[in-house]
Amino acid sequence: MDDQRYLYVSETDNSTVWRYEIGDKNGTLVAGGNGAGDGLNQLNTPYYIFVDQQQAVYVSDNSNHRIVKWNKGATT
> CB burial class (10 A; 0-12, 13-18, 19+) of residue 10?
buried
Considering the segment(s) 6-70 as one domain, its CATH architecture is Beta Barrel (2.40)
pLDDT of the residue at 3 = 82
More confident of the two residues 76 and 54: 54
State the pTM of this model. Answer: 0.89
CB atoms within 10 A of CB 48: 11
What 3-state DSSP class applies to 26?
coil
